[in-house]
Structure 1
Amino acid sequence: MSNIYMRSAQPADLDQIMTIIDQAKALLKSDGSSQWQDGHPNRATLTEDIAQHHCWVLIVNGQLAGTATLIVGEEPTYQEIQAGNWVDTQHPYATFHRIALSADFRGERLSDYFFSNLISQAYQQGVRHLRIDTHEQNQRMQHIVGTFGYQYRGIIYVNPTPDGKRLAYELNLD
């Protein structure tokens, strides 16, 4: 059994985080997705995530194996949802962003550990409502969120272009 845990990302992790993000960009591109092909997320975004204590890393046997951003609070791009609606609009929620696993650990089902830990971290912070979005071509993420019980809620836009269209999901733990 592997030694697997999640911890808050530190500035010293940034180079490894960027390597993982770059691997994820390449994987998305090979899958035919335009998600993350515009230069984002970039080093400045991840530096800010770390500084704000929003960035988390998955550690497997002492190696950095994944990264994700967990933000508790309003997500501006979620204020308007099309072709659906959020079920819970009264309570605080957490959003998962910039989730990526190292190519060195691909196929080891680490997304299960990571999502479980992220959900637990949000829960520990008193949050019972979770949201996430993904590109309609990102079948991998759609599968993962479905596995964890997220429900499709509609469409949001991360920018006003057709490529900014994202499928929005919600998980309510209450």
Structure 2
Amino acid sequence: MIRKAIPADLFQIEKVLEAVKADMHNNNIDQWDAEYPNKNILKRDIESQVGWVLTENGEIVSYMVLNESCDEEYNLLSWRYASPFLIIHRLFVSPLVQGKGVSSTMIQYAEQYAFENNYQSIRLDAFSLNETANLVYLKKRYEFVGTVIFRKGVFNCYEKAIR
């Protein structure tokens, strides 16, 4: 079940995030660290009511943010679709359930949410060295728009028309 994250979820979300960071580190993906994302960022997401969780058997196994906020770097790109657009941030899946379609379920939910709320498109970025994430978005027919540079390096930006 996918639902909005609530304050009581913070501990469990953070636990999943730490497992994801450790898994990335073990796979030589230097994308996330203590600085980003962290507990304070997750807390702000939840307080702003933009965090979403997927639960299985009462346990949180995935998290993402859906909002309209983007970094300034996004303005450097030639996006294909007009406003309004929805942005997916911080989509992560517990290593215990990776490879079982959970990220696809979350992306599908985001697309349905975007459709129901009259967004024209969805935009997102993925760390260029995270091959799995990039392949997932391409498989879901997200179009590569260009790259931006963030603190950790090059990120590929993608967009998908909803309307």
Question: What TM-score, normalized to structure 2?
Answer: 0.92
One-letter identity of the residue aligned with 1:50: I
Aligned partner (choices 65, 68, 78) of residue 64 of structure 2: 68
1:134 aligns with 2:126: yes
Residue of structure 2 equivalent to 1:86: 79
Q: Distance in 2 between matches of 1:168 and 1:22?
A: 24
5+ residue gaps, structure 1, are none
Give the direction of change, closer, same or farther, for the CA distance of 1:25–1:74 in structure 2 (3 Å limit).
Answer: closer
Question: Aligned with 1:167: secondary structure?
Answer: strand
Question: Aligned with 1:104: secondary structure?
Answer: coil
5+ residue gaps, structure 2, are none
Q: Which residues of 2 match residues 21-170 of structure 1 at below 5 A?
A: 21-37=17-33, 39-81=35-77, 85-88=78-81, 90-159=82-151, 163-170=152-159
Instruction: Tell me the matched-pair count.
Output: 163
One-letter identity of the residue aligned with 1:76: E
Contact 1:32 1:137 (8 Å CA) reproduced: no
Contact 2:114 2:162 (8 Å CA) reproduced: no
Q: CA RMSD in A?
A: 1.6
Question: Aligned with 2:89: secondary structure?
Answer: strand
Q: Distance in 1 between matches of 2:119 and 2:91?
A: 19
Contact 1:8 1:55 (8 Å CA) reproduced: yes
Contact 2:111 2:162 (8 Å CA) reproduced: no
One-letter identity of the residue aligned with 2:123: R
